[in-house]
Structures are given as structure tokens and as C-alpha cells.
Amino acid sequence: MNLERAKGTKDYPPEEKIARQEVIDKLRAIFELYGFSPLETPIIERFDVLSAKYAGGAEILKETFRFNDQGNRELGLRYDLTVPLARFIGMNPNMKMPFKRYQMGQVFRDGPIKTGRQREFWQCDVDTVGTKNMIADAEFIKVTQRVFESIGLDVIIEVNNRKLLDGLLEDLKIPEDKKNDVIIAIDKLKKVQLKDIEKELDEKGIPKKKVDELFKILKTDGTNTQKLEKLRKLLKSTKAVEGLNEIEEVFNYADCTDSKKEELKEKSNVVFSISLARGLSYYTGTVFEVFVNEENSKIEFKSSLAGGGRWDKMISEFLGTNREFPALGISFGIEPITLMLNEIKKSKKIDGKKTVTQLYVIPIPFDKTAKKTAEIVEELRSNGLKVDMDIMGKGISKNLEYANSYNIPYVLFIGEEELKKKKYKLKNMKTGKEEFLDIRGILNSVGC
């Protein structure tokens, strides 16, 4: 037997899983604060659902894990959480709108393996279905701000609108069949050099004059309000104006305008990024992407931490119905967020948790005090303390070595004399401080 993991999969030992779970718990708490409810869907879906015309597309289908069950039904492992959401909406047509849900879980893609890309990975999506009102778009900015405040990461939230980009291309008279090529190229601006994008657009048949005009507009600078004012003078197509109006409305609702920030005496971490495209073709309006604020964090980290936008047509097209299901959502990257937090901990020389245990209890001698110690441990647990105890009779030195190896913050010694007095020796493993305390004192000292 070959004791190796399947390619593209990963084990998460306790130290890594605890760090990930802390992120997940904070995300869940913020989502629920805004009225998003949890949804869970099967990992296995019917392949005809996964391969529907307006689902993931041909490229993702090439990477879909596909198989037949014993009834010869064609199935596949989900490659994202959006298609299951669309299928769920279709199966529950009488559900009251808006429907606000979050979902976290594993998804699978049989694609190339590289740093930061596995074949099994987690997605964390939060979506609102059933409204076109820009208050919903602004709410996603607020959710995102709160999420990263809670996690403790300084980020920049870039915002744009696909209608603005589409309108810009109309103003430049880019042919319809070339627009998607240009959008995909624009989306690479953060990752590759400008000359490489210019070369790519030249190869796609876009004249240099139009490319120069495009990048001149994309480089429009200033505050959010200044950019909006400059673009209103430059762009005249109906779509561009509609996109600008929607961005302004979202910023007003989310308090991201210059006047609001002047009143609040603070700088917004929400930035109007004219070149933000979010390459996927199903986006129809507002788009978001979140990056580490490298200037403030002093850590270079190029990967985005979250991204999403408005996708008003996809569910209707997926279901083949004329009924409208406007939607928007954002996906938070559990892996890059956890990786970034680990980098910060390393830079500050902070050890990660290796166990959830807050207190480790040592009965001395084991054979005479173990039963009573177990009763005390249960009392501590009943008060919410995460407690482990020696169940092997290893002796003091080996038990202390064990507690140190897992960075357990407190150790409690329970001997025959301590049992008589009902006061037990608590040791802070970081400071070395020792004191005799009753149960209430232990709970107060350790953190309950």
C-alpha cells in the first residue's frame, strides 16, 4: 500500500486546521450579522446540471471529475458553489426573495497543480438573489470591510462596474466579437507588464491607437469622486453612463464618497478601480476584488483575498426561464487569507496554536488521584473550559514536555493534598507563574 495522498489534495494538521477554522468562524459570524443564512448542497451533482449551457463553461468542464453510479447515471463533483445555488433556486421557485445565503465547502477541479492551486479546495461564497437595488451591492462592501476588520487584515477593496467597461469599449468602437478579448486582457493588468498586454491586444487585431486611448482612460487618477467626474466628461455611451451612475449610487450607500470620508476624517479602503474587470463573462454590473494593503502591511502578497460581483442573468439563463433572478455575491479565499495571516504571525514571531486545549491537568500520583481529577476536569469543562488530562500516568516531567510540545498555555497539578484543601496548583506555561486556586479562581485565570 502506498501511503500517499491523491495528487492535488492536502492534509490539514491541527495547527493549520485551527488557524483555518478561526477564519471560517469569523466569516460565518459576519455573514449572519447581515442576515445571510447557511446553505449546504451535495458535493455530487448530476453531470447534466454541471454541464448546462450557462454553468461553468467548456474550460471548467474539462477539469470536472466525472463518473457513473451503479445505476449508470452520469454524475460529477461540484467545481464551484454557484451552479449548486442556481440549481437550488430552480428547485425552489416559490421561495420569497431576496434569498440571502452563504456556503462554505470543498470543490474539485482536475486541473494543473501549482502553488496555491489544488484539485480539492475550499470555497466560501456569500450571495443575495432577487434584487437589483444598489443597496445590496453597498451591503457587500460593508460585509467585506467587517470581515477583514474581524480577521485583522488591512485590505484595499477595489470596485468597478462591467457596464462601465462595456460602455468604454463601445465609445472606443471596439468590435463586438473582440470585446471579451479586451476584457480578459484588461483583467491581467495587475499580473503582467503593460507591454505584454499591448502585444496580446495587437495579436487580437486591436489597432494601437485604440489600445493607447483605452489605457489612457484606464489610468484616470484621483479620488473616487474625482475619477467619476473625469469619466463623465470622457464617456458618453448609454452603458458607460449607466455604469457610472451605479458606481456612484453604490458608493453613496456605502459611505465611500469623498464628502462622507471628509466628514468622518478617515480614508476609505474602498477604491474605484477603472481597470478591474473580473474576467468571467457572466458579470453584469458591480464587480469587487480585495487585495492586501501592501503599503500598510509591509508584506508583499499579490493574490486576491476575495472577489465577486453582480451576475443578474446567469440563473435565468441556466434555468432557461424568462423570470428574472438578479444576483450578486462575493467569494472569500480561505487559503490565501489563512496564508496571509500565517505570514503576519511569522513576521511578528507569533506561534500558531497546535491544539484547542486551554488547560492540561496532571493527576499526582496517577493511581490515587485520577478518578477525583477526572471529576474536577468534568466540572471545568461544564463551565466552558477546553480541558485535557493525563490518561497514561506519564509522570510530571513527561507531562510538562507534552504540554510544551503543544503550546498548551496552562497546566494544573492535582495531588492528594490539593484534593483535601480544594485548591490546586495552576502554572502559566508562558510566564512560569504558579499559584494555588479553587475552581472559580482557575476559571477566572484561564479565561472563563
* Integer Cα distance of 67 and 26 in angstroms: 36
pLDDT at 343: 83
pTM of the predicted structure, to 2 decimals? 0.90
Where exactly does CATH 3.30.930.10 map onto the chain?
14-347
Count of positions (residues) in the chain: 448
Q: 417 Cβ partners below 8 Å, 6+ apart?
A: none
Nearest CA to 31 out of 96, 134, 103, 105 is that of 103
Per-residue pLDDT at 108: 96
pLDDT digits (tens, 9 = 90+) for 115-167: 767 899 999 999 999 999 999 999 999 999 999 999 999 999 999 999 999 99
**pLDDT of 210:** 87
* Contact residues for 183 (Cβ-Cβ < 8 A; gap 6+): 165, 169, 277, 279, 281
pLDDT digits (tens, 9 = 90+) for 227-259: 999 999 999 999 999 999 999 999 999 986 655
pLDDT score, position 264? 41
Q: Which amino acid, residue 448?
A: C
Q: Read out DSSP for 391-415?
A: SS---HHHHHHHHHHTT-SEEEEEE
pLDDT score, position 267:
58
The rounded distance, in Å, linking the Cα atoms of 149 and 158 is 16
CATH 3.40.50.620 is the classification of domain 14-347: no
**CATH 3.40.50.800 in the chain, residues?**
359-446
Cβ atoms within 10 Å of 99's Cβ, excluding its own: 20
Where in 212-304 does DSSP place strands (E)? 270-272, 286-292
Closest CA to 304 of 286, 283, 289, 287: 289
The pLDDT value given to residue 421: 95
- CA neighbor of 394 nearest in space, from 385, 402, 404, 382: 402
201 vs 203: CA distance, rounded Å: 5
Q: Are strands 99-108 and 120-129 parallel, antiparallel or unpaired?
A: antiparallel
Per-residue confidence in pLDDT tens, the chain, 448 aa? 989 999 999 999 999 999 999 999 999 999 999 999 999 999 999 999 999 876 666 778 899 999 999 999 999 999 999 999 999 999 998 999 999 999 999 999 998 887 767 899 999 999 999 999 999 999 999 999 999 999 999 999 999 999 999 999 999 988 888 888 888 888 888 778 888 888 888 888 888 888 889 989 988 999 999 999 999 999 999 999 999 999 999 999 998 665 555 444 445 799 999 989 886 678 899 999 999 987 776 777 778 899 999 999 999 988 989 999 999 999 999 988 998 898 888 878 778 889 999 999 999 999 999 999 999 999 999 999 999 999 999 999 999 999 999 999 999 999 999 999 999 999 999 999 999 999 999 999 998 5
| Residue 188: partners with Cβ closer than 8 Å, 6 or more residues away | 196, 197, 200
Distance (Å, rounded) from C-alpha 328 to C-alpha 288? 10
Tell me, what amino acid is at 114?
K
- Give the C-alpha separation, 239 to 235, whole Å: 9
Cβ(164)–Cβ(244) under 8 Å? yes
Bridge partner list, 378? none
- CATH number of 359-446, picked from 3.90.180.10, 3.40.630.10, 3.40.50.800, 3.40.190.10: 3.40.50.800
